[in-house]
């Protein structure tokens, strides 16, 4: 493929399409936002409205004027800038029949997708503007009764009880029992649920979702290799604990933009090269609708 035939618009669209097919965590986020993303530090507005006031009604008595609903303004900052930059040697182009650029773009999308998924699953990290896994630096996860399931072992024998306990926490946080919740877990945790022989149903409307493996108790189960693992001291030994999440699809908001997909000829090579920039950020908007589950097997 020559530079003359490189259309940035077409390849940006190709990259978007491939990127959407490679991610699990992002599909369970709210992506409804307003604003342009051009650089790190940009902020976008998360759409929403403020609370509605409930009042006592008295028969045959005039009501007050209707309240004006206001925007519940919340802003999400773009904090991540990830790039790719690859080249295809002219000799390789001559010797390889497949469309190398298309394959390379697919691989770039896969790498970007894995990186952004890992960002979502690891966003409760140690930095001051995020949420610590142990809740030490942010009030959103300090209450173990509301937002955290402490280190617990999940086995085939205990899987049903563990899932029920998570559903209870969400219900106590006023998440309706009939509201769909994504429960994202590691393959090792999923294996225990499968071995429990729980009657898991497949929702035909969700079979095309990446990582979706079935539903139970109002949970849509998703399995991902990008679930974070943290070593914890349990019983005097270091044990890998999987940082799983149960969350509604509005709990975490996410915004992104693919910027500057460009083709060029490296000065010191006989090759075609392409580079691109992926900008994004995420924020926990409804903390009570997201439960951190620290399970080990």
Q: What is the pLDDT of residues 187-233, one digit of tens each?
A: 999 999 999 988 888 766 665 678 899 999 999 999 999 999 989 89
Coil, strand or helix: which one is 168? helix
The CATH architecture annotation of domain 3-51+69-124+253-284 reads 2-Layer Sandwich (3.30)
Q: Report the run of H or E that residue 74 belongs to, with start and end.
A: strand 74-77
Which whole-number Å values give the CA distances from 52 to 47, 56, 70, 111, in the listed order? Answer: 16, 14, 10, 43
pTM: 0.81
Q: Token pair of 273, please?
A: 């090269």
In the chain, the percentage of residues whose pLDDT exceeds 90 is 45
Q: Where are the domains of the chain?
A: 3-51+69-124+253-284, 139-252+287-296
Backbone phi and psi for residue 55, each to the nearest 5 degrees, phi listed first: -135, 165
**Ramachandran assignment for 52, one of left (phi > 0), alpha (psi -120 to 50 degrees), beta (any other):** beta
Q: Which of 39-53, 109-123, 126-140, 185-199 has the lowest mean pLDDT?
A: 126-140
Indicate whether 14 pLDDT > 80.
no
| Cβ(192)–Cβ(297) below 8 Å | yes
Greater model confidence, 254 or 21:
254
Nearest to 283 by CA among 71, 72, 46: 46
Quick one: pLDDT band at residue 106, thresholds 50, 70, 90? confident
How many other C-beta atoms lie within 10 A of the C-beta of residue 243? Answer: 19
Q: Token pair of 247, please?
A: 């969350």
Indicate whether 134 pLDDT > 50.
no
Handedness of CA 250, 119, 43, 287 (dihedral sign): positive
- Using one digit for the tens of pLDDT, what is the confidence trace for 150-172? 789 999 999 999 999 999 999 98
Distance CA 47, CA 276 (A): 28
**Mean pLDDT score of the chain, rounded to an integer?**
82
Q: Hey, what CATH topology would domain 139-252+287-296 get? A: hypothetical protein PF0899 fold (3.30.2320)
Quick one: pLDDT band at residue 240, thresholds 50, 70, 90? very high
Nearest to 100 by CA among 115, 88, 117, 109: 88
pLDDT in the model for residue 127: 34
- Using one digit for the tens of pLDDT, what is the confidence trace for 249-272? 989 999 999 888 888 888 888 888
Taking each helix axis as running N to C, give the angle between helix 187-195 and helix 159-172, from 0 to 180 degrees, rounded to the nearest 10. 110
pLDDT in the model for residue 288: 86
Greater model confidence, 71 or 289:
289
């Amino acid at each position: 493929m020559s530079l003359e035939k490189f259309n940035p618009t077409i390849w940006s669209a190709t990259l978007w399409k491939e990127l959407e097919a490679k991610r699990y965590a992002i599909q369970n986020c709210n992506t409804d936002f307003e604003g342009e993303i051009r650089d790190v530090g940009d902020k976008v507005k998360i759409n929403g409205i403020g609370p509605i006031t409930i009042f006592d009604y008295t028969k045959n008595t005039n009501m007050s004027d209707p309240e004006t609903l206001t925007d519940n303004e919340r802003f999400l900052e773009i904090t991540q800038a990830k790039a790719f930059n690859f080249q295809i040697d002219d000799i390789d182009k001559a010797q390889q029949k497949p469309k190398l650029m298309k394959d390379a773009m697919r691989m770039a999308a896969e790498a970007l997708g894995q990186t952004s998924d890992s960002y979502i699953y690891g966003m409760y990290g140690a930095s001051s503007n995020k949420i610590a896994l142990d809740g030490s630096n942010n009030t959103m996860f300090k209450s173990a009764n509301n937002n955290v399931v402490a280190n617990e072992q999940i086995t085939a024998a205990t899987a049903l009880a563990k899932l029920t306990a998570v559903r209870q926490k969400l219900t106590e946080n006023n998440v309706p029992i009939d509201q769909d919740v994504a429960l994202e877990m590691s393959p090792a945790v999923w294996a225990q649920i499968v071995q429990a022989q729980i009657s898991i149903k497949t929702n035909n409307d969700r079979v095309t979702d990446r990582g979706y493996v079935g539903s139970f108790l109002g949970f849509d189960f998703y399995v991902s290799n990008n679930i974070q693992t943290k070593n914890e001291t349990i019983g005097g030994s270091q044990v890998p604990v999987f940082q799983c999440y149960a969350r509604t699809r509005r709990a975490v908001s996410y915004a992104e933009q693919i910027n500057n997909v460009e083709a060029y000829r490296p000065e010191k090579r006989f090759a075609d090269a392409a580079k691109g920039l992926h900008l994004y950020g995420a924020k926990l908007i409804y903390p009570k609708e997201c439960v951190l589950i620290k399970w080990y097997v």
